[in-house]
Amino acid sequence: MKHHPDRSKFFCGGEIIPDPLKADMRATELIANYEKWGAYNAGKLAEAARVYEAMLDENATIALTVAGAMTPAGLGGLVSAAIDAGFVDVVISTGANIYHDLHFALGYTSRRGSATANDDDLYRVGIERIYDVFITEEMLLNTDAFVREALAKEKGRISSARMHNILGQVALKATPRPERSFVAAAAKHDVPIFTSSPGDSSIGMNVAAMALWSATPDSAVVVDPNLDVLLTTGIVWASEKNGVCIVGGGSPKNFYLQTQPTLWQLLEIDKGGHDFAVQISTDAPHWGGLSGATPNEAVSWGKFKTGDLAKHVVVYSDATIVLPILFSHLLGARPKRPSKRLYTKLDGIYADLRKAALDVKSKAKGGAK
């Protein structure tokens, strides 16, 4: 039997003890057990909880990025709860998640279906399938009408944050079930919602159709991606600490992470990278896909700060399983914090970022002489 003196360097982690589960165990107790066991993705979920708690303790500006079809599966309620508690300061989402969230505000519900249903039959009866979730044509068409009516008076170039705030404000005031919508919750608490691909959703399709029908180009509303890039960059620049909870990956993930390269690579304002990251993903990095790219890899791009990988964690699991446990734990373990109400500050953030960027340019030109 080997008893090498170096053994203690390795065999020194926390003890893994098979404690029995308790009846009616709370999420906070479950996370504590995961932290004690510390194995596999249960251990990573416990790490994720501690990183998220650190973001709250250090009053970081916390972004939530959401990809995949999360709201049709009911996860919008989790986002609403996190917004209400002040645990999310800005959201970056696919347009589809925002659009499908609005169904619930309008009083509709998706239905549990079957992934093995005959799609020809579903098409014939007017049902759309999202894996094992069913929605109807009526839900789509009536949500389309809601989007167009809400945006009918808006003109000119706007950010996606403004567009979603308008939709949220109308949802708050004029829909039967605003409490079911995270878009409405975000409007209530002035949490800006951005989408990284404004044209890639039914909301974008409706905005494009409205432009086609408009009397003149100037009378149409146009979502300006440049504004979104600069406003999200400005939010990060104006915040002392920055963190992110990444649900899935894809375009929303990179849209937030690219704010740091925008600062140092283009505007020559180097913040050194984001401070915290929690990612929930089923995608592994070795496929070369963006969704599976680790925070460690992002360090090489200047997206995350170097030297403190304990603040970056990836849970390789299904977000529909992990996110309810994580957010339930946070709601039970941490007091609410006041909303930063970043939407109301966007104009000032943009102006300050522009001034800072122009000052850097001016100094660079002066030095060149």
- Per-residue pLDDT tens digits for 211-265: 999 988 778 999 999 999 999 999 999 999 999 999 998 899 999 999 999 999 9
For residue 343, tell me if it sits in a domain.
yes
Tell me what percent of the residues of the chain surpass a pLDDT of 70.
Answer: 98
DSSP 90-111: EEEE-HHHHHHHHHHHTT---E
At 309 the pLDDT is 77
Q: Does 279 fall in a domain?
A: yes
Comparing CA positions, the residue from 209, 217, 304, 206 lying closest to residue 261 is 304
In this predicted structure, the answer to whether residue 138 has a pLDDT above a threshold of 60 is: yes
Mean pLDDT of 106-113: 96
State yes or no: pLDDT of 88 exceeds 80: yes
CATH code assigned at 243: 3.40.910.10
pLDDT of 154 above 90: yes
Q: Is residue 133 part of a domain?
A: no
132 within a domain of the structure (yes/no):
no
Assign 108 a pLDDT band (cuts: 50, 70, 90).
very high
Structural domain includes residue 171:
yes
pLDDT of residue 367: 62
Evaluate if residue 362 carries a pLDDT over 90: no
Whether 47 is covered by a domain: the verdict is yes
Half-sphere exposure at residue 181, Cβ-oriented, CA atoms within 13 angstroms: 33
- Degrees, nearest 5: CA angle 137-169-238: 115
CA 292 to CA 284: how far, in whole Å?
A: 5
115 within domain boundaries = no
Which tops the pLDDT comparison, 11 or 179?
A: 179
Confidence grade of residue 292 (pLDDT, cut at 50, 70, 90): confident
Core vs surface per residue 89-118: b (16+ CB within 10 A) or e:
bbbbbbbbbbbbbbbbbbebebeebeeeee
pLDDT at 338: 96
Neighbouring-strand partners of residue 304 = 274
Q: What is the pLDDT of residue 285?
A: 86
Host domain of residue 93: 16-104+158-198+223-364
Write down the pLDDT at residue 82: 98
Active site residue 22: no
The number of folded domains in the chain is 1
Establish if 143 belongs to a structural domain: no
pLDDT, greater one: 102 or 284: 102
At 270, phi and psi to the nearest 5? -95, 115
Q: In what helix (H) or strand (E) does residue 195 lie, and over which residues does it extend?
A: strand 193-195
Give the relative orientation of helices 319-333 and 27-37 as an angle to the nearest 10 degrees. Answer: 110
Average pLDDT over residues 26-45: 89
Query: Residue 368: pLDDT band by 50, 70, 90 thresholds?
Result: low
* From 188, 253, 303, 305, active-site residue: 303
